Amino acid sequence: MARRDARWILAALVVIGSIPAVSIASVSGDPLAKTVSIDVQEAHLANVLRMMADDTGLNVILDPAVDRKITLKLGNVTWRQFLDLSLKLYGLRAEHQGNVVLVAPGDSAAFRRPEPSYTGDRFPILKLVPVRYADAKQLGALVQRTVLSKEGWLEVDERTNTLLIKDYPERIDEAVRLIGHD
């Protein structure tokens, strides 16, 4: 069955006309561990990545900026080697989530983590607040609902009945007053 699939892929590529020779050997386990030989000249990288997706069973999402032509002759390499090297050549990056591979420029918004919305020279601080004569879990829920900013967070250490609070200093001061310390 895998050999038949490989022939189908080869036939499709010949129809496209941009890939003169491709041979594929199957490997169990990681789909990107399959060994391939690829010989392309002025082929669109997106088409070669689609070929990889067809062969490996992975889903590939391409950023519109992945509009490059590639010429290469590789023998006996894994899809992972092809992917890593060709993306590195063009400053692209791949992120894997399950059976989906996202390919985009390395500086793409797809790979950026959201920046916290701290303003000016105000930054959150971290403070351990021991709770006496009350349940830290209940007080933590109250502080979370009423005092903390959207950037703040709170953890409860039930073993020591202590709150670990990270937020702006004025919010932590307010939380400490609510808890009844100082």
The answer on pLDDT for 16 being more than 60 is no
Q: Measure CA of the first residue to CA of the last residue in the chain; give whole Å.
A: 74
For the chain, residues classed under CATH 3.55.50.30 are: 2-111
For the chain, residues classed under CATH 3.30.1370.120 are: 125-179
Q: Is the CATH number of domain 125-179 3.40.50.720?
A: no
What percentage of the chain reaches a pLDDT higher than 90? 23
Q: What is the mean pLDDT of the chain?
A: 80
The answer on pLDDT for 2 being more than 80 is no
Q: In the prediction, which pLDDT does 42 show? A: 93
Residues whose CB falls within 8 Å of the CB of residue 50, separated by 6 or more in sequence, listed in order: 60
pLDDT bin (cut points 50, 70, 90) of residue 73 is very high
Q: Which fold has domain 2-111?
A: Phage tail protein beta-alpha-beta fold (3.55.50)
| Torsion-angle region of 91 (φ positive above 0: left; ψ -120 to 50: alpha; else: beta) | left
| Cα pseudo-dihedral 74, 76, 79, 82, rounded to 10 | -30
pLDDT bin (cut points 50, 70, 90) of residue 71 is very high
